[in-house]
Structure 1
Amino acid sequence: MAYDDQNIFARILRGELPAIKVYEDEQVLAFMDIMPQADGHTLVIPKTPAVTLLDLPADAAAYTIQIVQKVAKAMEKALDAKGIVLMQLNGAAAGQTVPHIHFHLVPGSLHELGRHAVQMGDQEKIQALAEKIKAAL
């Protein structure tokens, strides 16, 4: 599948759409999911244009997973998370809803997760959780 540079994450990376950012550097962006499956649900995306993990160059994949780990540690500390579900879905058949590689970090357990991308979250609450995570980075 060809990369669509008009997907929502590409537009967030270009600053065309807002995001509640937790972490950003020259290669990766971490931000809060606005339709969270649990409080603190965070997304980590490489800035490299790639639809799935299979399309992402190995060096970008390696760097991105390092940031996934860094953000997960901050979430664990900031939110007193007893567990963090890490999900990465490849292709629509697997449940990928945005055609830009992304990692979901969801505090809690698989048994506690809400449904994916179903209901808009409370933006003030999401912002407050983001501030806690940023403070722990």
Structure 2
Amino acid sequence: MKKFIEEFKAFALRGNMMDMAVGVIIGGAFSGIVTSLTDNFINPVLNLVTGGKVYSLQDWAGFASAFLSSLVNFLIMAFVLFCLLKAINKLMAFGKKPEVPAAPTTKVCPFCKTEIALEATRCPHCTSTLEEAKA
């Protein structure tokens, strides 16, 4: 059972799976903004232009309020999702050890300042003889 849970955790918390989940959630929240924009601005403007309906100032204020509410809901959703992912990433990195930097494989020629192999005794660019480091 423990192995099953570990496999599921590895599957569910993979980077591309989390990215897809974030995309679906943000897409759903953004569709609310688009719907609100259509219902509260585009349709009333079209009704006004075509003479279908005349709106009062209070109606327009209600439209703007509904759109701003939708926008604030989107921003809150995005912020909560950001905080949640930040916490998940911190938990995922909690048990990992920092990577040890790899040993250098090149050095810089003291004469021409180009990178050369660490074992080189002569620079292939300027043909200078390099002194071997004494340990």
TM-score, with structure 2 as normaliser: 0.22
Larger Rg: 2
Query: Greater relative contact order: 1 or 2 (C-alpha under 8 angstroms, separation 6 or more)?
Result: 1
Greater fraction of residues in helix: 2
TM-score, with structure 1 as normaliser: 0.22
